[in-house]
Every structure is written in structure tokens, then in C-alpha cells.
């Protein structure tokens, strides 16, 4: 390989993997082939790359290249002129009920030879999935990381006078209900395998902990003790559940087995302790407590020892969500907090240094954050309307579900 190529490759990897660097500028021009499928695929590719936190897609109206003449090739000078560092090309071909797609990725600095070429064939109905697959290949090529493009988000939404649980693709497509409309079903959370969900249901008139398949099946009771059985979350290995129970008279955090047996009570305080979330390695739990007068984010070991307060600014900090993967060496906890004006927004907190970062500001009321499995994006409820997905720094945000929605929960990365 020529030395100039090696140097260019070093530059690309540095830009993608090091924090503080500019986003990699990539062009996704109109795809060749079947009009509707090509348009959907272009929209999905663009949305994925923007959501990744690694790329900035360029405005197609700025392109000066002769796309009809180029077809699946590129003229590097035309793309360099508009500031593109990478270019994605594709052609779709309909074959019976199938769609065949040829993808190519170019690095402008390397000239007119593609650095990545993939061809896929699948039923036409899977057009979005094919776009997600190639977008994932692009992320992996530049960063060596998996993407979250094939993941799902569960949430609760009104259905008549009740609340139903809905599962959708991370970008809002493929919505389907996983509970019936016979009760208030809230606070979904995923099993690490992605095959089932915990949730709180009032189907028997009291807040009990249930589980159901993420593809919809007959639900199973997990914990139906007197009082609260809420906010259940699986440990990263799926062997334990942290949950808020009040059967002993006060709202406390317990660890129970997947079948509902109490393993250990973790908190024992006259204050209200709730909303547990596990650290990525399962060794710690963050939670909410008002034991110092107002709800704040705390953490403790998974045994209940070493309980310490993390948030010291603001009088209302709730709904912690521990990122499943460190980002730039930081173990981040996202939470909802009220600022000095009373606005509810999303913040992140480094569990070690306690450094705070504000993710939303002057964008309505935002709450209940949940992390993508890669730690590079967040989803949350917004008063702007429904559920938004944001890059981990908050710089790129977009709605993925419009309408009334509560307590989103981002599912794990599940490989085929």
C-alpha cells in the first residue's frame, strides 16, 4: 500500500476516534435505481450517520458533482470542493419481490477507488434494514465500533383510557404493541438479551412487576408484593433485578431474582429511595434519594455499601440512567434535572469526577433519558412532542416518535 494511503488512513482514524475532533464530513447523494426504495434508503443512511455522533452529513443542495455521469464512481475534486471527506454511493435493483443493493464508500483523500463495497439482497420490505446494515459497516470501518442502528426502543403510550407498551426501531419505524390495553403499563426495561421486557402494570389494581416478550406474548408476574413493585431493571448479566419495593413499609431498593425472590435489601433509610440503574459491569447501582431533603442522584456498590451522593447542584435530580459503555474514558450517568428557572432538562454526570454536562437547554421540557447500547446517543421524552434521539453531547437531536409517550427504554445491541 502506498505510504500516502497509510498517512491518509491514520488521519481518518484519528478524527473518528478522538474526542474533541470535528465530525467527519460525509456526503450521501441521491441513490441510483428504484425511486421509492432509493429515497427511503438515502433517508435512513443520512439519519443513521447523523445520529451516530461521528459524522456530519452534507446538504445535498450543495453538491456540484455530475451525479448522472458519476453513477457509482466519484470525481474526487468535485467532492473535495464541497468539503466532503467521505462519499456514499448506492444502486438499488428490483428483482421480483427482492431488492438488490450495491453500496460503495469512498474516502475523497484516497481518490476514485472505493474503500468499502458491499452488495445485499433481501425482500423489498426490508429496505430500511439494508440501509441500517450498510450504515453499520461505515461506522465499523471508521471507528472499529458497532453501531446502534439495529436496536429498538420500548416506551409507554396512551391507548384509550389505559397505557400500552410499544416497541419500535430506534429511528421510529416498525412500531408494534407488546401489551394489551387492559391496564396502565409503564416503566419498561430490557433484558440484556433483548428478548423480553420488565415493566410495571396496574392490571390487578396495584403496581406490580411483570415481564413479557419484546415481540408480544403472554406476560408473567415477577413481583406482586404489597405496595410498590416498580422500576425493575436487569443487571448487565441478566442474573439479578434491582427494583423499588415498599412491602416493608418504606420505598427502598432491593435486588431480586428473575423469578421474584428477594436476594437482598440494599437501602434502609426513612427517606424515599427509588429508580435504580446498574453500572456497565454490574458492580454499582445509581439511584434517587431525598434523604438530604430533595431528590438527588446517589450511588452505591451492588451490595448496598458505600452510599454516596453524586449530584450537588439543583434541588430536583431524578431518573438516572447509567451508560452501558464508557465514552471517552468517562462512565456517564444521564438524569433529568430542574435548573434555576424550573425547567426540566437532560444532564450527564461523570460517576467518577462528578463533572456535569447539560444535554438539552431552551428546548422545552425533557425527561427520562435512556442510553443507546454504544453510549454514543440518548433517547428521552420531550415536550416538543414525543421521543427524541440525541447524540451524547446533545448537539444533534431529532424526533423519532411524535405523540404522547412516556419512559422510553433503549434496548441492547443484539447480533444475528
**Kind plus residue range of the DSSP H or E element containing 20:** none
Q: What is the mean pLDDT of the chain?
A: 92
**pTM for the structure as a whole:** 0.93
Domain boundaries, the chain: 3-143, 152-410
At residue 44, the pLDDT reads 97
Q: What is the CA radius of gyration of the chain?
A: 23
Mean pLDDT of 196-211: 94
Q: How far apart are CA 155 and CA 185, in angstroms?
A: 10
Give mean pLDDT, residues 228-235.
97
Give the C-alpha distances (Å, rounded to integers) separating 157 from 292, 312, 324, 345: 33, 33, 25, 21
Percentage above 90 pLDDT, the chain: 84
Which of 404, 405, 337, 323 minimizes the C-alpha distance to 367? 337
Burial class (CB in 10 A: 0-12, 13-18, 19+), 57: buried
pLDDT of residue 213: 86
Q: Please tell me the least confidently modeled range out of 1-10, 14-23, 188-197, 374-383.
A: 1-10
Q: Residue 11: pLDDT above 50?
A: no
DSSP state of 316: -
Q: What is the DSSP letter of 140?
A: H
CATH number for the 3-143 domain, one of 3.30.429.10, 3.40.50.10070, 3.40.50.620, 1.10.287.3240?
A: 3.40.50.10070
387-394: average pLDDT: 95
152-410 domain in CATH 3.40.50.150? Answer: no
Mean pLDDT calculated for residue range 238-266: 97
Q: Give the pLDDT of residue 97.
A: 86
CA 75, CA 365: separation in Å to the nearest integer?
46
User: Does 20 score more than 60 pLDDT?
Assistant: no
Segment 318-332 shows an average pLDDT of 93
273-283 pLDDT per residue, tens: 999 999 999 99
Answer whether residue 77 shows pLDDT above 90.
yes
Q: What is the mean pLDDT of residues 134-160?
A: 95
Amino acid at each position: 500500500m502506498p505510504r500516502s494511503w497509510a498517512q491518509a488512513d491514520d488521519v481518518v482514524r484519528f478524527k473518528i476516534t478522538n474526542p474533541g475532533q470535528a465530525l467527519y464530513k460525509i456526503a450521501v447523494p441521491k441513490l441510483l435505481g428504484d425511486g421509492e426504495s432509493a429515497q427511503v434508503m438515502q433517508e435512513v443512511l443520512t439519519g443513521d450517520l447523523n445520529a451516530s455522533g461521528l459524522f456530519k452529513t452534507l446538504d445535498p443542495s450543495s453538491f456540484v458533482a455530475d451525479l448522472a455521469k458519476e453513477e457509482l464512481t466519484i470525481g474526487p475534486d468535485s467532492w473535495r470542493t464541497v468539503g466532503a471527506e467521505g462519499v456514499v454511493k448506492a444502486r438499488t435493483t428490483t428483482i421480483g419481490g427482492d431488492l438488490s443493493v450495491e453500496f460503495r464508500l469512498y474516502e475523497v483523500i484516497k481518490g476514485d477507488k472505493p474503500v468499502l463495497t458491499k452488495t445485499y439482497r433481501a425482500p423489498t420490505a426490508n429496505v430500511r434494514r439494508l440501509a441500517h446494515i450498510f450504515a453499520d459497516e461505515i461506522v465499523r470501518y471508521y471507528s472499529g465500533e458497532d453501531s446502534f442502528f439495529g436496536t429498538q426502543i420500548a416506551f409507554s403510550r396512551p391507548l384509550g383510557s389505559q397505557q400500552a407498551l410499544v416497541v419500535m426501531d430506534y429511528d421510529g419505524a416498525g412500531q408494534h404493541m407488546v401489551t394489551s390495553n387492559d391496564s396502565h403499563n409503564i416503566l419498561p426495561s430490557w433484558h440484556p438479551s433483548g428478548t423480553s421486557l420488565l415493566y410495571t402494570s396496574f392490571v390487578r389494581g396495584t403496581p406490580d412487576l411483570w415481564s413479557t416478550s419484546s415481540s408480544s406474548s403472554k406476560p408473567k408476574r415477577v413481583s406482586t408484593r404489597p405496595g410498590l413493585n416498580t422500576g425493575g431493571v436487569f443487571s448487565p448479566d441478566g442474573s439479578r433485578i434491582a427494583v423499588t419495593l415498599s412491602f416493608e413499609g418504606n420505598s427502598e431498593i432491593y435486588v431480586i431474582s428473575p423469578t421474584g425472590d428477594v436476594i437482598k435489601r440494599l437501602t434502609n433509610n426513612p427517606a424515599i429511595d427509588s429508580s435504580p440503574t446498574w453500572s456497565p459491569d454490574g458492580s454499582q447501582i445509581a439511584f434517587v434519594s431525598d434523604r438530604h431533603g430533595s431528590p438527588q442522584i446517589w450511588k452505591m456498590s451492588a451490595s448496598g455499601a458505600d452510599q454516596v451522593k453524586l449530584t450537588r447542584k439543583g434541588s430536583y435530580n431524578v431518573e438516572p440512567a447509567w451508560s452501558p459503555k464508557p465514552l471517552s474514558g468517562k462512565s456517564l450517568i444521564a438524569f433529568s434535572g430542574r435548573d434555576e428557572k424550573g425547567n426540566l432538562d437532560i444532564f450527564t454526570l461523570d460517576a467518577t469526577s462528578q463533572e456535569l454536562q447539560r444535554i438539552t437547554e431552551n428546548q422545552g421540557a425533557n425527561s427520562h433519558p435512556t442510553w443507546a447500547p454504544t453510549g454514543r446517543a440518548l433517547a428521552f421524552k420531550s415536550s416538543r412532542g414525543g421521543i427524541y434521539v440525541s447524540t451524547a453531547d446533545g448537539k444533534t437531536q431529532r424526533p423519532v416518535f411524535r405523540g404522547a409517550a412516556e419512559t422510553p427504554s433503549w434496548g441492547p445491541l443484539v447480533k444475528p
